[in-house]
Amino acid sequence: MAEDLLSQLKQMSTVVADTGDIDTIRRFTPQDATTNPSLILQAAQQENRRARLAEIACHSTDIDDALDAVAVEIGSEISALVPGYVSTEVSARLSFDTDATLARARSLIERYDRHGIPPERILIKVAATWEGIRAARQLEREGIRTNLTLLFSFTQALACADAGVTLVSPFVGRILDWHKAEWPDGDFSGDNDPGVKSVRRIYEHYKGHGYRTIVMGASFRNMGEIQALAGCDRLTISPALLGELAETQGHLERRLVPIDAETSAPEPQDEAEFRWSLNEDAMATEKLAEGIRKFTDDQRKLEALLAELRKQS
């Protein structure tokens, strides 16, 4: 009898739930879970959380304190259900401030520690800007593990690996979105998908040069993208696509296979090289900026929700 695709995928890649929804995590039993400001907002809007959110809002010193308290509370609930990492994101507003990112990351780790969650269970998510990558380098030296998000270019991937980050999250679907908008009649199916190509290139480069950084494909638009990356270190998948994979029977072919390192790592980029190379990539530049704005917008919505609950209490 044929196995469902999700079961087969779990034998090739570490499956991660891209959600803050507790019921989804219980249903699909992923190894890890990732959250971001948009997913925290969705989880926070659930009716059964309103009383606790109001309590957090009333006892917080300011809005930043409340936001981090909510993120850690939800992350702590998730940590009881997954054996591996839980990713929690630093405020997107700090994407261009290294020192502020460092302070916020350390604060999140301290909050998790007060919940009884050790640092090795947490990945601090940071936008893969130059400032974010610099912060991640320092955090890794302090024993705080990082997940570099909003990653759209090979340039960002090179800088992250050089910084020794624990994990990178290339955004497959958002890369595809940009190309579809630019070339509406283009054929981006299967191996022609530019997001799939991007992850494959990063994966092969990391393995070929002996980098230990984990590659985790993210932001999928369809099951085909996931199937095309079967075998990637990790894949973080939305509840809807986890459901599709679980309900689909058939053979899943492994597409990415680890290789032995053959060459030494290239020379690291300096800041000017990084910024110029990123600037030359219109897609990466636009999607990085858009992603930061989107996460910040959802953060503002959560701030408004907490402020309203505080007023009502």
Contact 237, 221 (CB under 8 A): no
Write down the residue that tokens 């996931």 correspond to. 226
Residues 22-47 have a mean pLDDT of 91
The beta strand positions in 130-253, using DSSP E, are 146-151, 167-170, 214-217, 234-237
- Judged by DSSP in three states, 126 sits in strand
Mean pLDDT along residues 39-51:
86
The domain limits of the chain are: 5-312
Is the pLDDT confidence value at 313 over 80?
no
CATH superfamily membership of 5-312 = Aldolase class I (3.20.20.70)
Q: Which residue has the tokens 């302070």?
A: 103
pLDDT greater than 70 at residue 9:
yes
pLDDT confidence bin for 116, thresholds 50/70/90: very high
Catalytic residues: 125
Query: How confident is the model over 260-289, as pLDDT tens digits?
Result: 877 777 889 999 999 999 999 999 999 999
| pLDDT given for residue 312 in this prediction | 79
pTM exceeds 0.85: yes
